[in-house]
A and B are shown apart, each in its own frame.
Chain A
Amino acid sequence: MTEVENNGQIQSILLRHDRSRDSLIPLLQEVQGGLGYLSQQAVAAVARYLGVSENDVFGVATFYSQFRFNPPGRHCVKICQGTACHVRGSGLLVEAIGRNLHIVPGQTTADGKVSLESVMCLGSCALAPAVVVDDTVYGRITQKKLEKVLEGIE
């Protein structure tokens, strides 16, 4: 996406929200939903629209773990580290998958294919360990099964 297209997208998101402070988080969520992350330019646009400083917007955005400031990979793998998943070995799983991909949670593979995240509790504890690949939840996952899923995506 070019910068101009990005700008257009950000503007159309902004116009759907009131210019009030409580629109800030929903705005950031929608911008990230569209762009995949919060670019510096997006943060500036949101700040201007709401009439607050960029510092203020960064202050809020960095407080919440949902927000990213770098472009994500084409696919997102979230490995749950909730309690139930932890006692069923998800710590080893995240390590093993990270080792295969040569990244640690929070990073994206060099080819831009996969971003790896470890997240706290997806709420699928009964089927622990759980993993979300893009929008699909996989329960009772094993290293082998997850490797297969990753092989199947482009």
Chain B
Amino acid sequence: MSLNNLQARAAESWAAFVRTDRPRILVGAATCGRAAGAMQVLAAFREHLEKRGLSNQVLVAEVGCNGLCYAEPLVEITGSDGRRVLYQQVDEKLAVKLLESHVIDGEPVAKKALAVVEGETVRGVPPLSRLPMLRGQVRIILRNCGVIDPTNLDHYIALGGYSGLARALSQGPLGVIEEIRAAGLRGRGGAGFPTAQKWTLARNAPGDQKYVICNADEGDPGAFMNRSVLESDPHSVLEGLTIAAFAVGAGVGYVYVRAEYPLAVQRVELAIRQMRENGLLGSDILGSGFSFDIRIKQGAGAFVCGEETALIASIEGRRGMPRPRPPFPANCGLFGRPTNINNVETLAAAAAIMARGAAWYAQHGTEKSRGTKTFSLAGRIQRTGLIEVPLGTPLRRIIEDIGGGVAGGRKFKAVQTGGPSGGCIPARLLDTPVDYEHLAEVGSIMGSGGLVVMDEDSCMVDVARYFLTFTESESCGKCVPCRMGTQHLLRILTDICEGRGTRAQLEQLHRIGLTMRKASLCGLGQTAPNPVLTTLKYFEDEYLAHIEAGHCAAGVCRALIEFCIDPEKCNGCTACALACPVAAIEGSRRTAHRIAQDLCIQCGSCRTACKFDAVSFRPRTRQPVSV
């Protein structure tokens, strides 16, 4: 089938999807929506429609994630009045109410509405574009997320999908590479290598059998951009992969995706099937003479497989250990053949660039970092979710304006960028523009785009220890600097967290960190010290407080604190005593309770259970012991 035929069919199916003369219910049901209960809400809508005998008159569909995760489950309703309203935190009970009131009677429920879709008016409800979380965003990668049904190829095509591939095929491989170069696209996996240059290397490598790989092994804890795109708009990534294959001259492509993302795997599988059925994959794609096929490989849980050579080893069925480079994968990659590997987001951007042109893309971002970048906002932030902003946007705008600042009116302490390879950036550097160069300057990295916000309840020594626990267990063990370095860093950090730290150890942390940076074989070991080095640089006072005063101001390092009950505030409700797992709290009803310190394990259950704020912590009075 030609693209024109596909587009004609797609236009019809899209028109039927968006018509406003028939009520429609869209439920955001990516993994995050499901975690918040989207599937139960969906079932409630269907069940109630059935009861009212309206199943055939109302369209109910799943869409992906629009990034406003804090408000999930999200439901967009086009009522019988034709108005389109986005509702937030919908549960089964609210679903029935929305169905009766808005879908059937045409009366929007303003109190539960988050926003109205552009052009509509409902008293007291702002339009979508005025939501603080969406203002300031430029959505290129996320263009279709939450808008289309991700299982429907027609929707993707109707909104311009595969026109980039068609244009690429007509321009020829060199034309494609030139377009990507002009757009200034750099690798979105973290390192920021120019994409056009990477494609050129693989294209010029000798050999008639070449491979392209989409790296969807999003292993950074705290990052979920790639998952969301694969679940909400899988075709954008596969179109980009096909364009990359055409540019470098590859006949087979792989999507290497984490097994922890079952819904993403399912969506990509379906999308590949749809491509094959519609002549977008296989031999002679869109009548161009170009042949290409895509396979899926599921990761098996190894963080190091995000590294190119380790990922290749894993696809080949071996232990996922990196090897020294050169030779680079562009010359000697999968099965010893020239191989090009790109991140999910790079590929989705490539598809958009080929559809709309380099100049359009390059208008966003900065001189050296063109275009946009997606970030996941998580941790102690008001509005958690997935966003996309032009590169160069200051961190402050992302955290304060888009994310709404720290949750619960607490004080901002740091933002962690780049996962275990990145660093913690303190409040005074919040005006740092987010691009490859500036983040590297402050000792962090862009990474894949996870932003985890921390407030005064987070202990920075504990955060460093947390990341080292991760990298220590994920280090593949092949090279000594990484294997031994992560172990020693972790041991020292544990000493400090448990009250056995010394000043001399701070110097050791520094020296080991710098050695690892220089001498490790791959990116994992080279960047693993970043969380330690940045927290040492920006939060040395916290390290010193642990070492010299045995004090953890955040109350996180349990060997250094003890909990106590304020007898003035305690009214003897017994909630804490019931919550205590080790029966360390004594006291009878309506009299102030007491914690027996020799029994207490510092789990904090009492503090969570107390409704009167009577439980607090103080530096431990007796000698610190290890927990």
**Neighbouring A residues of B303 by C-beta, 8 Å:** 120
When chains A and B are docked, how far (Å) is the Cα of A122 from the Cα of B466?
17
The total number of A-B Cβ pairs within 8 Å is 151
Tell me how far the C-beta of A130 lies from the nearest C-beta in chain B, rounded to whole angstroms: 6
Q: Which residues of B contact A20 (CB under 8 A)?
A: 317
Given A66-B301, A92-B604, A122-B260, does the pair A81, B221 have CB atoms closer than 8 Å?
A: yes
Scoring A21, A60, A124 by chain B CB atoms within 10 A of each residue's CB, the highest score goes to A124
Structural contact, B378 and A125, CB atoms closer than 8 A: yes
Q: A84-B222, A120-B221 are in contact. Are A23 and B317 (CB under 8 A)?
A: yes
Given contacts A22-B316, A63-B319, contact A83 B224 (CB under 8 A): no
Contact of B35 among A67, A84, A87, A130 (CB under 8 A): A130
Q: Please judge, given known A-B contacts A82-B221, A87-B380, whether A22 and B36 are in contact too, CB under 8 Å.
A: no
Chain A 87-130 against B: per-residue CB contact (8 Å), 1 yes, 0 no? Answer: 11000100110011000000000000000000111111111101
The verdict on A127 contacting B379 (CB below 8 Å), with A59-B319, A65-B301, A120-B221 known, is no
A123 touches B603 (CB 8 A): no
Asked whether A126 and B69 contact (CB < 8 A) given A84-B452, A121-B221, A139-B32, the answer is: yes
Contact indicator B222/A60 (Cβ below 8 Å)? no
Q: A83-B379, A87-B452 are in contact. Are A123 and B317 (CB under 8 A)?
A: no
Count chain A residues whose beta carbon lies closer than 8 angstroms to a beta carbon of B. 45
- B36 and A139: CB pair below 8 A? yes
Q: Are A29 and B298 in contact (CB under 8 A)?
A: yes
> Do A127 and B32 have beta carbons less than 8 Å apart?
yes
Question: Within the complex, what minimum Cβ distance (angstroms) separates A120 from chain B?
Answer: 5
Within 8 A of A (CB), among B305-361: 314-321
| Whole-angstrom CA separation of A51 from B396 in the bound complex | 57
Contacting pair B297 A123 (CB below 8 A): no
Residues of A within 8 A of B222 (CB): 82-84, 121, 125
**Interface contact B317-A87, CB-CB below 8 Å:** no
Return chain A residues, CB-CB under 8 Å to B380: 87-88
B581 in the interface (beta carbon within 8 A): yes
Contact of A74 with B by CB under 8 A: no
| Least Cβ–Cβ distance between B417 and chain A, in angstroms | 11
Which single residue of chain A is at the shortest CB-CB distance from B315? A22
Alpha-carbon distance between A124 and B223 when the two chains are bound, in angstroms: 9
What band does the interface of chain B fall in when counting residues whose beta carbon is under 8 Å from A?
A: 35 or more
Tell yes or no: B384 within 8 A of A by CB: yes
| Contacting residues, chain B, for A135 (C-beta < 8 A) | 262
Q: Give the contacting residue for B319; candidates A60, A99, A130; CB below 8 A.
A: A60
Known: A87-B454, A120-B221. A137 touches B35 (CB 8 A): yes
B386: interface (CB < 8 Å): yes
Asked whether B385 lies within 8 Å of A126 as measured between CB atoms, the reply is yes
Name the one of A59, A67, A95, A127 contacting B603, with C-beta atoms under 8 angstroms: A95
Q: Is residue B376 contacting chain A, with contact meaning CB distance below 8 A?
A: yes
- Report the nearest B residue to A138, measured CB to CB: B35
Contact among B258, B297, B458, B581 with A99 in the assembled complex (CB-CB below 8 Å): B581
Q: Is A24 an interface residue (CB 8 A)?
A: yes
A64 touches B452 (CB 8 A): no
Report the nearest B residue to A85, measured CB to CB: B221
CB distance from A148 to the nearest CB of B (A): 14
Contact of A63 among B261, B302, B416 (CB under 8 A): B302
What is the chain B residue whose CB lies nearest that of A24?
A: B317
Q: Is A48 an interface residue (CB 8 A)?
A: no
State whether A124 touches B31 (Cβ < 8 A).
Answer: yes
B260 to A119, Cβ gap below 8 A?
A: yes
From A24, A59, A66, A130, name the one whose CB has the most chain B CB atoms within 10 angstroms. Answer: A66
Instruction: Provide the residues of chain B in CB contact with A126, threshold 8 Å.
Output: 32, 69-70, 72, 224, 376-378, 384-386
Q: Tell me the minimal C-beta distance from A131 to chain B in angstroms.
A: 9
Closest-CB distance, A15 to chain B (whole angstroms): 18
Contact of A128 among B31, B318, B378, B474 (CB under 8 A): B378
| Cα-based distance from A92 to B315 in the complex (angstroms) | 36
A86 part of interface (Cβ distance < 8 Å): yes
Residues of A within 8 A of B235 (CB): none
Q: Does A25 reach chain B (CB closer than 8 Å)?
A: yes
Q: Is the CB of A121 within 8 A of B319?
A: no
**Residues of B with C-beta under 8 A to A81:** 221
Contact A67 B260 (CB under 8 A): no
| A65 and B258 alpha carbons, distance in the complex (Å) | 12
Per the bound structure, the CA–CA distance linking A23 and B300 in Å amounts to 13
Smallest beta-carbon distance A85→chain B, Å: 8
Q: A63 with B320: in contact, given A83-B221, A119-B260 (CB under 8 Å)?
A: yes
Q: Taking the complex as formed, is A8 at the interface, i.e. its CB lies under 8 A from any CB of chain B?
A: no
Residues of B within 8 A of A (CB): 31-32, 34-36, 69-70, 72, 218-224, 227, 258-262, 297-303, 314-321, 376-380, 384-386, 416, 419, 450, 452, 454, 457-458, 463, 466-467, 470, 474, 476, 581, 603-605, 608
Lowest 3 CB-CB distances: which A-B pairs, in order?
A126-B69, A83-B222, A139-B35
Given A119-B260, A125-B223, 20 more A-B residue pairs with CB atoms under 8 Å apart are A21-B317, A24-B317, A25-B298, A25-B314, A26-B297, A60-B319, A63-B321, A64-B299, A66-B259, A82-B221, A83-B222, A83-B419, A87-B463, A92-B605, A95-B603, A120-B303, A122-B31, A123-B32, A123-B223, A126-B385
Name A's B-contacting residues (CB within 8 A).
Answer: 20-26, 28-29, 59-60, 63-67, 81-84, 86-88, 92, 95-96, 99-100, 119-128, 130, 135, 137-140, 143
**A–B complex contacts, Cβ < 8 Å, 24 sampled:** A21-B317, A22-B317, A25-B298, A26-B297, A26-B298, A63-B319, A64-B299, A64-B302, A64-B320, A65-B300, A65-B301, A65-B302, A66-B300, A87-B458, A120-B470, A121-B220, A121-B260, A122-B260, A123-B258, A123-B260, A124-B32, A126-B376, A126-B378, A135-B262
